Structure 1
């Protein structure tokens, strides 16, 4: 390296470092998610040590020109400029770099150019044949780039793509790229404008726009139209959706989504979101004026205003407590399904307000609920309004005997426009202790005492005195006209339990074997359940393997697991050295007296319960199977059968589930006087199947189907809902493509749901996601006839 005046060398390095910190490409437009900023640098950055290398440096004092040639490298703070020739003119304050120019940042971005020129303190500049490799491996190229007034950057013949180039043929077009004749970036307006923009997929143009604009990467949010979608439907007709995003402030926004349909008018959806210092709010509302009951002449109610509200909010009160509100309401039972807002199998909408807190050994939750049924034949007037249900639970440290105390309080207040109103206060305590004997047996002891107080209004009773409950009697005749009654009552219920287990383990070279007999005894008064205490929270009890060896098997408070009983069973297990396992649990319960307050058919209402159990097989990563069963022993008959299986390698994974439930007996069902609901289920047998196959590195297919396997009829208040055997309730088939820069999903979906203006049909949807740009898609067609088996 030749000798040169130190001042000129320092000015050259300082100028180039300035280039590194505030170059021509400050604010060069790139898509969101691939933000690329070469500009701005702190004073500390600019004062950092500079590394300068070149084969030779010349300084012309008369021209005030410094030129560095041959393998020029200038770096500071991880920013590196490489070029064949770099010059600096002190008089014109111009820096030029030519020949294999590259500029890299520590964040991974690299700029390549054939020629670069900066002047006027780098507020003006020009570059030729610009190529940029961004931090996320995206690429941006342009024939020329020009910067003026330190604010505006102009690219000519610009091309952007986040896709990798073909390794075998780098000149081949990428999976997709966006081209534009001009790309102008106004830093002050924070706006990027595209002129004559074309989207190409695999080299084929698929979209053209003479003009479009977008906020630059420094803008996190900006008001404007979002990508529209179009589609077609046999019930909605041809439709187009044009969403608009509106920024209302740094902490709030609103998305307005009008949808115009040829057969259902216009639908407007508004989504308002706001962030607070201690929480958030998200509220969605939709409105439409169209036929209610469309597609069913018997239920057509004519044109009406229809809509829905779905609000979710949560706020932290302090480090322990938070509160929230979820509101779900809809104008009618079919609005959500018809316009594609929800699960077609949804039975009800639930609104909830809550307060909850979590401490080291205590928890508190207070909830209010309101329900809106979506099934035919069930009205709002009989639905419970919970104001509130509250729980407080506290657990102690281990006491002197090694046990722990649990204290629990529960408050419930249920209102109904028509039907029973219930207020309940429950206080309970429990002591638990686990210990082992000298030969390896384990004992789990628990003792509890609970007191319940009730205030009941408008209790609807039945005339048959043999009916053991006013709510879901297990025998007798249907209820007669309700008889309102008002009263206060209470009860106390102590219960103890002891569970013994003795695991026997044999470890072999290949297999570890486990045999574990288990037995438990539980004792409490045979009384406690009352005919005049309505069952609000224990209606769905169904005896399963998870209920074995539990002192209190009921999730709610209204029905007590009274009397004395013994649970007995066995666990068996085989575990191989490669991680495979084979497990079995089987057990049964015997009680001294039958509990007639448990639902008939639950499996535990008689002295000798049904036999329950589960089998779990996981021999390797290619197979997982679980089989859960319940058998009636007198006479022997299957009650409940559930099978779940997942098999195959990741390239071809198949999963499925099967469930069988027997038909209810007519003697099991009477009218629920509190809700007015009378439900009789026929035999139910259902199969759910899902398969995923990876065809290539990028392509895969996925299919699923839900099939009703048997003829059955469900009666709700006498309204029959038949289900045909081997009928498809839901099916879908999807083709999926995914690479490093785009994803495509095309689906054909069939629904067998029929409810008012919701009819069975097939829909065709697609969705394409472009990395760093966004997503387009929607329902493109819908047919009124099932075409899938």
Structure 2
């Protein structure tokens, strides 16, 4: 027998006798030996260049590229010595332990028990599977699950590849770090947070879950707030892990001016869905920081909100859910910075929408039943004019290739019922009168209802009737494509639709008495039927050239319907918005956006479509078309209670010309545009254009919109805007971004306001202050923003500044300038802070002083 084999056999025998476990030693490499079989999880496998047995010291050493596998752990070192008397295993030289979960522990010297569970490690370094790291000059492991790091360092950042000794971006240096795996908790004693090796924060004691934890009770990252009406505030969320499928988060926030703001969030996940309930409330200490009613909530002692959402699956096809929100006043969310998932917020509209729904769908069918409640969140809206919509039922069913017709047969149904307390009137002002918060630009009172005392279509719009309004609609339609031998595509179409309306207006209270001059309250139920037949013709021409493939396709469509009836009796609730463009030029069901209006008469729509492909990635798509009213009554020329259809480009027999273009010359660059041109003068009535460019380094976008006045709809100003947005990656981790929105037509509005105010001052200089002309020039900014972001494997740092300017006609009465800071340290938590730079507020409803 070779000497090396003898030494290895002696090492195997000594180890087997010394250990309290029944080992099976299997040796790979230069030689191997085995004893009696044992359970697989109890087997120890040793691999080394040689084994040395010292009978006097009762030690056995494995020397040279040692690797030992036992109970899922692997130990590697230059030399491993087993002390039979002390039952210790000492590993030196490039020592490493790899746990069964992938954790790698390295050190200069290991002194462990014979099962590798406990012991001391010098110059310890631990790398967990999630790339978090510990290091310490000396560490102790007890009970196989508790690590105590003396003068320990923790970080989630990877070391620098070029200079591993350089401090990571951030690390926690602590006198002692105790990691208790059984508790899944890490404790830090006398710790400080360092960035690039520089201490920035001292923390006497803290603890947090380790990387294996998905849910654990404890404090979350604090939240900070600082505004004029609220003062400085600190919120400390506490998460309570009640069970694997439900939890509770409590967030008390102390505000120096207003006291204690309480917030609670309950989350519950069940087998077939989940739901969430959030509530906030405060007893205000300094009510005078907010305006009194009706401009603010300064009269209220208690203010609060409640929100809830949920979704549950009945089966794979059916689900139901809700998203509801309610607050004590319309300013609460903005004043107290309460995040709400149900808010709809833009520069021109802000409201909380509550809905509950039941939805079912298949590959050919769709069912949706829901209700809506709207709460306005601006000072210019009135709650009693907001409708409660319940129910709204939509059903759609498509049958492909029915046996007796072929093609596609479609069934559509809709039922809508709504009620409101007060009628919503809008008097059409004169072009020179600009309405600002209930007064004209001259400062005189302006009663919205005076001009609607007796309804006249030319001076009064009815946005919604008080009382109850209901409609039921059912429609069946059919169409089929036929392709003749020369490639022409013929698509016949037929449909029939029936509507039943029930209008029960309220003519008492508020301004509802004016309703009796608009609708006939003696005839509450009436109906409407609308059959239609049509034909569409397309003939694509295909050409191939050396530089691309081209498809030119002329399109013509004709649809014949009888005249629309009862358009002035219908309370138009869901079809008030009408934008005529290339997207709805060939819509079979008509160009109205909802069910309350239906297109009547005979109309032809014609156009030409071009599609080009150039190389592998470039393409272009163009559409040019026009619509012609051929017979019957033009539904877009008569309007309704809100004048929908007028000033739309469809009110004449020959419509405006519409066009659309999409062009991408190469990957990353994309142009899109749409326009509507006057049919006789070819002047642009509407322009929407955008260009975007995106690579891994640079992203940029330009947007432009211009819409001509629509006097019949109460819009006397041309609206024109330009937006610029972009970002650039300075390095692989740093990115800069910026954006600006210009109101290109505001200077005209300011000029008209000044002219009216100046005329009023000349007439009464003793009672009216001298007006000031706000001349911002052509490029007046509506909003600006810029920011900087740093992101790597362990850190996210983001700083941004945003500014939105007041637009009183839209309900925003104050400029807002906000700085936001967000710092996320992976595994430690996230810290965010926002500061409003204005001296007054975080939104409407607050006083002008701190």
SS in 2 for 1:246: strand
Distance 2:829 2:251 in 1: 17
Q: CA deviation at 1:491?
A: 2.2
Distance 1:605 1:730 in 2: 35
Change (3 A) 1:158 1:234: same
1:522-601 to 2 correspondences below 5 Å: 522-553=559-590, 554-592=592-630, 593-595=633-635, 596-597=638-639, 598-601=644-647
Q: CA deviation at 1:450?
A: 1.5
SS in 2 for 1:337: helix
User: Which residue does 1:628 correspond to in 2?
Assistant: 674
Distance 1:523 1:78 in 2: 79
Q: CA deviation at 1:187?
A: 4.3
Query: CA offsets per residue over residues 6-48 of structure 1, 9 Å max, x none?
Result: 585277489999999xxxxxxxxxxxxxxxxxxxxxx986167
**Cα pair 1:291 1:300 within 8 Å, conserved:** no
**Which residues of structure 2 form unaligned runs of 5+?**
24-37, 423-465, 751-756, 758-773, 842-850
Query: CA offsets per residue over residues 82-139 of structure 1, 9 Å max, x none?
Result: 1122233455433222222112357653221122222275554221111123334333
**Cα pair 2:564 2:599 within 8 Å, conserved:** no
Distance 2:259 2:50 in 1: 76
User: Which residue does 2:846 correspond to in 1?
Assistant: none
**Cα pair 1:504 1:515 within 8 Å, conserved:** yes
Residue 644 (structure 1) aligned to one of 671, 684, 690: 690
Count matched residues: 733
**Cα pair 1:659 1:687 within 8 Å, conserved:** yes
Residue 447 (structure 1) aligned to one of 475, 480, 494: 494
Change (3 A) 1:300 1:131: closer
1:150-189 to 2 correspondences below 5 Å: 150=144, 152-189=146-183
**Cα pair 1:2 1:58 within 8 Å, conserved:** no
Change (3 A) 1:14 1:700: farther
The more displaced of 130-139 and 490-499 is 130-139
Distance 1:373 1:15 in 2: 79
**Cα pair 1:623 1:647 within 8 Å, conserved:** yes
User: Which residue does 1:46 correspond to in 2?
Assistant: 41
User: Which residue does 1:765 correspond to in 2?
Assistant: 820
**Cα pair 1:234 1:782 within 8 Å, conserved:** no
User: Which residue does 1:602 correspond to in 2?
Assistant: 648
Change (3 A) 1:690 1:785: farther
**Which residues of structure 1 form unaligned runs of 5+?**
21-42, 462-469, 471-476, 670-679, 715-719
Residue 496 (structure 1) aligned to one of 533, 538, 541: 533
Query: CA offsets per residue over residues 517-571 of structure 1, 9 Å max, x none?
Result: 1111111112344432221211112211111111112332211111111000111
User: Which residue does 1:87 correspond to in 2?
Assistant: 81
Q: CA deviation at 1:734?
A: 0.2
TM-score, normalization by structure 2? 0.79
1:187-206 to 2 correspondences below 5 Å: 187-206=181-200
* CA-based RMSD: 3.5
Distance 1:428 1:292 in 2: 57
Q: CA deviation at 1:405?
A: 1.6
Query: CA offsets per residue over residues 296-349 of structure 1, 9 Å max, x none?
Result: 999355341333322211111112111001102233333323333364634321
Change (3 A) 1:78 1:487: same
Change (3 A) 1:344 1:404: closer
Distance 2:292 2:707 in 1: 31
Distance 2:613 2:20 in 1: 65
Change (3 A) 1:511 1:219: closer
The more displaced of 299-308 and 770-779 is 299-308
The more displaced of 635-644 and 74-83 is 74-83
Change (3 A) 1:737 1:584: same
**Cα pair 2:293 2:299 within 8 Å, conserved:** no
Change (3 A) 1:430 1:539: same
Distance 1:557 1:185 in 2: 64
SS in 1 for 2:562: coil
User: Which residue does 1:32 correspond to in 2?
Assistant: none
1:211-222 to 2 correspondences below 5 Å: 211-222=205-216
Distance 1:496 1:741 in 2: 63
User: Which residue does 1:745 correspond to in 2?
Assistant: 798
Distance 2:207 2:265 in 1: 24
User: Which residue does 1:774 correspond to in 2?
Assistant: 829
1:244-393 to 2 correspondences below 5 Å: 244-288=238-282, 289=284, 291=287, 294=290, 299=295, 302-304=298-300, 305-340=302-337, 341=339, 343=345, 345=347, 346-393=349-396
User: Which residue does 2:480 correspond to in 1?
Assistant: 433
Q: CA deviation at 1:222?
A: 2.4
User: Which residue does 1:40 correspond to in 2?
Assistant: none
SS in 2 for 1:378: coil
Q: CA deviation at 1:501?
A: 1.1
**Cα pair 1:529 1:559 within 8 Å, conserved:** no
The more displaced of 304-313 and 724-733 is 724-733
SS in 2 for 1:3: helix
Q: CA deviation at 1:747?
A: 1.1
In the alignment, does 2:727 pair up with 1:692?
yes
Distance 1:783 1:362 in 2: 52
Distance 1:15 1:656 in 2: 77
Greater share of helix residues, 1 or 2?
2
User: Which residue does 2:429 correspond to in 1?
Assistant: none
The more displaced of 350-359 and 322-331 is 322-331
Change (3 A) 1:784 1:15: farther
**Cα pair 1:708 1:723 within 8 Å, conserved:** no
Q: CA deviation at 1:723?
A: 12
**Cα pair 1:292 1:757 within 8 Å, conserved:** no
Distance 1:460 1:641 in 2: 42
Distance 2:689 2:388 in 1: 37
Q: CA deviation at 1:360?
A: 3.4
Distance 2:366 2:779 in 1: 48
Distance 2:147 2:738 in 1: 49
**Cα pair 2:394 2:412 within 8 Å, conserved:** yes
In the alignment, does 2:86 pair up with 1:96?
no
Distance 2:96 2:19 in 1: 12
Distance 2:175 2:146 in 1: 17
Distance 2:542 2:161 in 1: 57
Distance 1:395 1:481 in 2: 39
SS in 1 for 2:678: strand
**Cα pair 2:130 2:211 within 8 Å, conserved:** no
Change (3 A) 1:631 1:333: farther
Distance 1:374 1:730 in 2: 20
**Cα pair 1:493 1:528 within 8 Å, conserved:** no
Residue 402 (structure 2) aligned to one of 387, 396, 399: 399
**Cα pair 1:390 1:410 within 8 Å, conserved:** yes
Q: CA deviation at 1:260?
A: 2.9
Distance 2:677 2:621 in 1: 19
User: Which residue does 1:706 correspond to in 2?
Assistant: 741
